[in-house]
C-alpha cells in the first residue's frame, strides 16, 4: 500500500500532529507514505516528497505544516501560475489524477476544512480513493463535535482577553478584542466566556448599536469604569452585512473579513465617556504550538484515517463524536456548517453571568 497525504486551506496548530499520526500508523502497517506539497498544488503540479519516521520525528509540538499548504489551489478551478491565473482558472483535475496514478498511490488523505473537503469529495466522486480529516479553527463543521486547531486558537484568544483586562481597568477604557470566526462565533463565544468578556458579538446574533452602548453605560452606572468586548470577525449589525477587508481572486473562499471592531469603536466614540481601543488577533490564533488537547485529537484523527484506508472505507471523513473516533461520508461533512444557536445553553450561561450579546432580544 502506498498513500499520499496533503494539508490544504488555512494553517493551524495540529496539522503536523495529523501528518505524524497518519505516517507512523501507515509505516507500521508496512506501507509507503508520500507527502504532497502545498495542498492540491502539489497534486496538480507533481510536487511530492517521501515521508518516513525521521521526517515526522519531533513535529508533534510544531505549529503549521511541514508539507506546506494553499487556500487557492483548487484542481477544478486552478488559478496558480504557471498553469493557471486568477483571471482564467482552469480545470486541471485530470492532471491531478494523472499524478496520483504516476506515483502509484492507493489512497489520498486530505486534511483541511470545508473547502478542502469539498474538493476531496469531488475527487472521490470521480474515482479517487480519498479519506478526509477535518481541520478548522472556527470549529464549524457539523459532522464532528470538534476540530483540531480550535482549542489552540481558543487558548490564544482567551489569553488575549485576559491580558487586556488589566490595561482596560487601569485606563478606564473599552477594549475590543476581535477574533476569527467568519460564519460561526465559537472562538469569540468561548473566549468571551472564559475570559470574562462583558459583551460578546457573534455572526449568529446581529447586534444593535443602542444595545451595545446601553450595556457599556449600565456597567459604568454600577461603578465598572471599563468594559471588554469580544467580537468575531463575522459579526454584523441587525441592519447590515459583514465587514469585508478585501477579496482574493482565485481563492476557494475569496472574501477576507476583518475590521468590524473598528466599526464598534466608532459606535461608542463620544457616547460612553470612555476611550476605546481595538486589538485584532488575526493570524496569531493560527500560529504556535498546539495545545495538549489538539495534539491528542489530531493524533487520533491521523491514526483513524490510516485505519479507514486499511479497510478501504473511502469517501469518508474522520469524525470525533461522543469522545470517540468514527467516520461519516464526505458528502455529509460538507453539507452544513455548525453554528452557534442563539438559544444554546452556552448563550444562557453567558447571559446568566451578566454578559450582553449586543441584542436585548436574545434571552438564550
Residues marked as catalytic:
138
End-to-end Cα, the chain, rounded Å: 51
Cα–Cα distances (Å) from 290 to 146, 153, 229, 293, 294, in that order, read: 15, 9, 26, 8, 6
Answer whether 107's CB lies under 8 Å from 290's CB.
no
Residue 273 CA, distance from chain mean position: 36
What own/partner pairs with CB < 8 Å and gap ≥ 24 does 277-283 have? 277/167, 277/173, 277/174, 277/175, 277/176, 278/176, 278/178, 279/160, 279/164, 279/175, 279/176, 279/177, 279/178, 280/178, 281/156, 281/157, 281/160, 281/177, 281/178, 281/179, 281/180, 282/178, 282/180, 282/258
Give the Cα separation of 285 and 275 in Å (integer): 26
Spatial contact of 128 and 155, defined as CB atoms under 8 Å apart? no
Amino acid at each position: 500500500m502506498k498513500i499520499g497525504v496533503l494539508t490544504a486551506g488555512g494553517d493551524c496548530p495540529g496539522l503536523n500532529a495529523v501528518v505524524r499520526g497518519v505516517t507512523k500508523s501507515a509505516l507500521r502497517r508496512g506501507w509507503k507514505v508520500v507527502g504532497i506539497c502545498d495542498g492540491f498544488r502539489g497534486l496538480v503540479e507533481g510536487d511530492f516528497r517521501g515521508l518516513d519516521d525521521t521526517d515526522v520525528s519531533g513535529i508533534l509540538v510544531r505549529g503549521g505544516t511541514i508539507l506546506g499548504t494553499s487556500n487557492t489551489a483548487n484542481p477544478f478551478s486552478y488559478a496558480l501560475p504557471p498553469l493557471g491565473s486568477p483571471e482564467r482558472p482552469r480545470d486541471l483535475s485530470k492532471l491531478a489524477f494523472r499524478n496520483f496514478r504516476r506515483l502509484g498511490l492507493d489512497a489520498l488523505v486530505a486534511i483541511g476544512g470545508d473547502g478542502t473537503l469539498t474538493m476531496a469529495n469531488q475527487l472521490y466522486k470521480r474515482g479517487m480513493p480519498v479519506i478526509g480529516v477535518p481541520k478548522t479553527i472556527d470549529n464549524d463543521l457539523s459532522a464532528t463535535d470538534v476540530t483540531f486547531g480550535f482549542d489552540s486558537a481558543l487558548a490564544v484568544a482567551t489569553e488575549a482577553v485576559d491580558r487586556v483586562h488589566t490595561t482596560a481597568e487601569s485606563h478606564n477604557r473599552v477594549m475590543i478584542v476581535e477574533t476569527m470566526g467568519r460564519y460561526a462565533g465559537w472562538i469569540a463565544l468561548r473566549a468571551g466566556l472564559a475570559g470574562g468578556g462583558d459583551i460578546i458579538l457573534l455572526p449568529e446574533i446581529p447586534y444593535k448599536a443602542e444595545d451595545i452602548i446601553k450595556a457599556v453605560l449600565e456597567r459604568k452606572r454600577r461603578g465598572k469604569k471599563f468594559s471588554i468586548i469580544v467580537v468575531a470577525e463575522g459579526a454584523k449589525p441587525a441592519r447590515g452585512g459583514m465587514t469585508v477587508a478585501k477579496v482574493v481572486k482565485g481563492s476557494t473562499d475569496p472574501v477576507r473579513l476583518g475590521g468590524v471592531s473598528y466599526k464598534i469603536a466608532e459606535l461608542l466614540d463620544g457616547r460612553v465617556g470612555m476611550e476605546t481601543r481595538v486589538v485584532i488577533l488575526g493570524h496569531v490564533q493560527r500560529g504556535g504550538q498546539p495545545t495538549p488537547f489538539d495534539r491528542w485529537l489530531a493524533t487520533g484523527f491521523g491514526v483513524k484515517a490510516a485505519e479507514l484506508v486499511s479497510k478501504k472505507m473511502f469517501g469518508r471523513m474522520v469524525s470525533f463524536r461522543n469522545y470517540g473516533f468514527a467516520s461519516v461520508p464526505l458528502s455529509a461533512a460538507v453539507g452544513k456548517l455548525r453554528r452557534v444557536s442563539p438559544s444554546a445553553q452556552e448563550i444562557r450561561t453567558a447571559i446568566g453571568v451578566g454578559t450582553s450579546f449586543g441584542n436585548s432580544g436574545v434571552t438564550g
